[in-house]
Chain A
Amino acid sequence: MTQVRARYYDGKTSQQREVLIWAEPSGRLRVIGDGVDFSCAIAEVRPSPRVGNTRRHLRFADGSLCETEDNDAVDRIFAGLPSEAPGRLIHLWESRLGYAALALALTAAALWAGITYGIPALAKQVAFSLPPSTEKALGRDALAGLDRILLSPTQLPAARREELRALFSRLASGLEGAGDYRLELRSSKKLGANALALPSGVVVVTDQLVQLASDDNEIAAVLAHEIGHLRYRHALRRLLQDSATVLLVAAVTGDLTSIASLASALPAMLLQAKYSRDFEREADEFALDTMKRHGIPAESFAAILLRIEQRRGASADVPDYLSTHPATRERAERSRAAR
């Protein structure tokens, strides 16, 4: 039987004693050395798990322990114990570079799947189960933030503002939670012709967009699209998705300091956070449905889309409103097909 060199500590003092350990055929472990001589059943000894080349500690029932570098011998002695199987499996995985590469690939794949599928599905669940009041504070803060950096008061005459508000309520009427929806008109040189849906049911439309539209049907198309975002809680879902993604990446890379800056980035994130194509399609379909119900011709939708794109091409000042939207041509086609 092979003997293993180890150091024995009785657990009462830090005194060290050299000992030899071996497994006896009877299934007992024998420990002999400097003033130490005992044996105990192998099944009663608790070996520490194997982690790299670190030393193993064998704990005995009386609180004493043996420390040894001879990992392979320890593995042989305890090979029969089922309690050691999971630890051996993990160590096997950690012991080859090829297996580690597999772990790297698996991590990358799991992260990718989580970010593209898992988080959006989870965000949808959470967004629809949160009470609407949850969004209130978020929406208020986001609007206040935008007002500070990007938006200025509207220049439209009061009568025109009233007309637009009435149009908005007409389009939103009958929807669940529509009582909380409201239209905010703002002027913004930086945003140009633009419309945003914020959490808590706020739609912001710029004066520039109102002026760009050739008639109220085109404005109705934009409003219906933004109401679609509200209806499906896209802003909250996007926010949840972005935060979850940051948290996930932070948890994996072990850097949680970025959380602090998350809250302050909310207004900017809402802008850059261009809604994904799926959100846009959902809002488009909702808009076309709503327009049909109100007898608004579907080509108004295509017309305002093309006009916004034209304007975007003409002026570099207008940010990338459509960049994560489906191709304008495709959206216009679909709106014509819906006629």
Chain B
Amino acid sequence: MANSSAAPQSAGSAVSLRFTGEAGEYFRIWIVNICLSVVTLGIYSAWAKVRRKRYFYGNTLLEDAAFEYLADPKAILKGRIIVVAAFAVYSLAGHINPLAGPLLGLVLLGVLPWLIVRALRFNAVNSAHRNVRFGFRAGYGETARLLILPVILVPLTLGVLYPYYAYRKKRFFLEHSSFGATPFAFTASAGEYYLVYLKAALMFVLFLVGSAATVGLGALPLYIWFAAYRDGAVARLTWESTRLGGLRFGCAWRTGGLFKLYFLNSLGVIFSAGLLAPWAAVRAARYQLERISLGPRGEIGAFLAAAQEERSAIGDEAGDLLGFDFGV
């Protein structure tokens, strides 16, 4: 159950993540990334992505060790080329032959579960902490069955099943993830997710009523308040239901703190024509990461690594383009 008032974990033995990134430093990395990506007509964007993720992973510390992003930019570039080519074929085919479009769409739907698993696995095996990589394994059939929820059942029930889908998605992600040889576990129930989303829905009604009452003036802040409430409540429930071996997680995201974060970030990015985007990204990472804790402390050094395998980045890039959001 999301318990917003209690301390994250029995204090003393829990450790919080730390984030050491700085806005000015990241701004320079960000603008050089954009510049080289534009000048090389997008080819450098694979390297840019790796540098960006290396910066955020490398500045995330647990106890005295940083996280590391290990993906090979050349694998990402290859994945991007294949995905862009596939999309080009798909969008052109529809114009040339009216039957080709839907047919290719079906093929795309058929490979979607496979792509999702590849994307999650690529990201996991290229994330490491203390020289131990994360892992992700899931079968095609199970992934396909999960996708029936968002593709068919959630629209069919007008969203009533959405909290159930959110719950199943997190469970799917966590129960197939591992750190080294140790699998993650997920203890939340569908009922708890329904409760959280029900409260979020009430906040949404508040947003609608409030926007109407203030003739639209309050719409933006009220919407951000709703988003802050929803994100905080879902994150607390998810993290506090997550186990890794003997480790438990705590999450201290607060509605007020998230509201301030989102609100200032939006204002900053809008009024700087995007130039403050790196500042916003660093602020978000700092708030969100530093309020995640795990313990007991003694368990952190005792994980075993798993046998390693390399994966290509095709799925990862498809995930980027289609905007999957599977992460916790």
CA A111 – CA B279 in complex, angstroms?
A: 23
As a 0/1 sequence over residues 50 to 81 of chain A, the CB contacts with chain B under 8 angstroms (1 = contact) are 01111101000001110100000000000000
Query: Contacts A9-B130, A94-B32 given; 8 further ones with Cβ under 8 A?
Result: A11-B131, A13-B132, A51-B54, A54-B54, A90-B36, A110-B35, A134-B95, A253-B274
Contact partner of B55 (CB less than 8 A), chosen from A10, A54, A134, A138, is A54
Chain A positions 1-43 with a Cβ under 8 Å from a chain B Cβ: 7, 9-16
13 A-B pairs (CB sep. < 8 Å): A9-B130, A9-B132, A10-B131, A13-B305, A14-B130, A52-B59, A53-B22, A54-B54, A54-B66, A133-B95, A134-B95, A134-B96, A252-B37
Query: What is the CA–CA distance of A252 and B34 in the complex, to the nearest angstrom?
Result: 7
Is there a chain B Cβ closer than 8 Å to A157's Cβ?
no
Contacts of A314 in B (CB 8 A): none
Cβ A51 vs Cβ B58 within 8 A:
yes
Q: Which B residues have a C-beta under 8 Å from some C-beta of A?
A: 20-22, 24-29, 31-32, 34-39, 42, 45, 51, 54-55, 57-59, 64-66, 68, 92, 94-96, 98, 129-132, 180, 274, 277, 300-305, 321, 323
Instruction: Indicate if the CB atoms of B55 and A51 lie closer than 8 Å.
Output: yes
Contact partners of B305 in chain A: CB under 8 A? 11-14
- Enumerate chain B residues within 8 angstroms of A106, measured Cβ to Cβ: 35, 39
Query: Which residue of B22, B28, B55, B66 is within 8 Å of A67 (Cβ)?
Result: B66
Q: Is the CB of B64 within 8 A of A7?
A: yes
Instruction: Please indicate the chain B residues that have their CB under 8 angstroms from the CB of A125 in the complex.
Output: none
The CA-CA distance from A64 to B300 in the complex, in Å, is 18
Q: Is the CB of B31 within 8 A of A104?
A: yes
Partner of B58, one of A13, A55, A90: A55
Are B68 and A51 closer than 8 Å at their CB atoms? no
Residue among B37, B68, B129, B302 making CB contact with A15, cutoff 8 Å = B302
CB <8 Å contact, B95 and A137: yes
Bound complex: CA of A90 vs CA of B304, how far in Å?
35
Q: Which residue of A lies closest to B55 (CB)?
A: A51
Q: How far is the CA of A64 from the CA of B26 in the complex (A)?
A: 29
A130-152 to B contact mask, C-beta < 8 Å, 1/0 = 01011011100000000000000
* Contact B54–A103 (Cβ < 8 Å): no
| A15 & B301 in contact (Cβ 8 Å cutoff) | yes
Q: Which residues of A contact B323 (CB under 8 A)?
A: 256
Knowing A11-B305, A111-B38, A131-B96 are in contact, say whether A54-B59 is a contact too (CB < 8 A). yes
Complex: how many Å from CA A320 to CA B316?
46
CB-based nearest A residue for B97: A133
Given contacts A13-B132, A14-B180, are A103 and B35 in contact (CB under 8 A)? yes
Chain B nearest CB from A206 CB (Å) reads 29
Known A-B contacts A13-B302, A54-B58, A104-B31; the reply to A67 vs B95 at CB < 8 A is: no
B28 touches A97 (CB 8 A): yes
Closest residue on chain B to residue A86 by CB atoms: B47
**B32 neighbours in A (Cβ, 8 Å):** 90, 93-94, 99-100, 103
Cβ-based interface call for A323 (8 A)? no
Contact indicator B28/A100 (Cβ below 8 Å)? yes
In the assembled complex, the CB of A212 is this many whole angstroms from the nearest CB of chain B, namely 37
5 smallest beta-carbon distances between A and B, as pairs? A54-B58, A9-B131, A103-B35, A14-B130, A14-B303
| Residues of A near any B CB (own CB < 8 A) | 7, 9-16, 48-49, 51-55, 57, 63-65, 67, 90, 93-97, 99-100, 103-104, 106-107, 110-111, 114, 131, 133-134, 136-138, 251-254, 256
Q: Are B26 and A52 in contact (CB under 8 A)?
A: yes
Candidates B36, B51, B59, B68; contact of A57 at CB < 8 Å: B68
Contacts of A138 in B (CB 8 A): 95
Between B37, B51, B57, B180, the greatest number of chain A beta carbons within 10 A of the residue's beta carbon is seen for B51
- Once A55-B58, A252-B38 are accepted as A-B contacts, the answer to whether A14 and B131 lie under 8 Å apart by CB is yes
Contacts of B59 in A (CB 8 A): 52-54
Contacts of A111 in B (CB 8 A): 38
A107 & B31 in contact (Cβ 8 Å cutoff) = yes
Contacts of A11 in B (CB 8 A): 131-132, 305
Distance A136 CA – B97 CA, assembled complex (angstroms): 11
Closest-by-CB residue of B relative to A8 is B131
B321: chain A residues at CB < 8 Å are 256
Chain A residue with Cβ nearest B51: A51
From known contacts A51-B54, A52-B25, A100-B31, infer whether A14 and B129 are also in contact, taking CB-CB under 8 Å.
yes
The CA of A99 and the CA of B131, in the complex, are separated in Å by: 34
Contacting pair A110 B130 (CB below 8 A): no
State the CA gap A55–B25 with chains docked (Å): 14
A136 to B96, CA, bound (A): 10
Q: Which residues of B contact A10 (CB under 8 A)?
A: 131
Is B131 touching A64 in the complex (CB atoms < 8 A)?
A: yes
Residue of B nearest to A59 (CB): B131
Q: How far is the CA of A9 from the CA of B133 in the complex (A)?
A: 12
Q: Give CA–CA (A89, B135) in the complex, Å.
A: 33
Q: Which residue of B lies closest to A16 (CB)?
A: B301
Knowing A54-B54, A54-B59 are in contact, say whether A14-B38 is a contact too (CB < 8 A): no
Q: With a CB–CB cut-off of 8 A, which chain A residues contact B129? A: 14
A100 to B26, alpha carbons, bound, how many Å? 11
Question: What is the CA–CA distance of A189 and B207 in the complex, to the nearest angstrom?
Answer: 41
Residue from A93, A95, A103 whose CB has the most chain B CB atoms within 10 Å = A103
A14 contacts B301, CB within 8 Å? yes
Chain B residues contacting A63 (CB-CB under 8 Å) are: 131
Which residue of chain A lies nearest to B269 when distances are taken between CB atoms in the complex? A253
Residues in A neighbouring B22, C-beta threshold 8 A: 52-53
Complex Cα distance, B31 from A100, in Å, reads: 6
* B39 and A16 form a contact (CB under 8 A): no
Contact yes or no, B66 A55, CB < 8 A: yes
B54 touches A94 (CB 8 A): no
Q: How far is the CA of A15 from the CA of B92 in the complex (A)?
A: 53
**Closest CB-CB distance, A266 to chain B, in whole Å?**
14
Residues of A within 8 A of B37 (CB): 252
In the assembled complex, the CB of A99 is this many whole angstroms from the nearest CB of chain B, namely 8
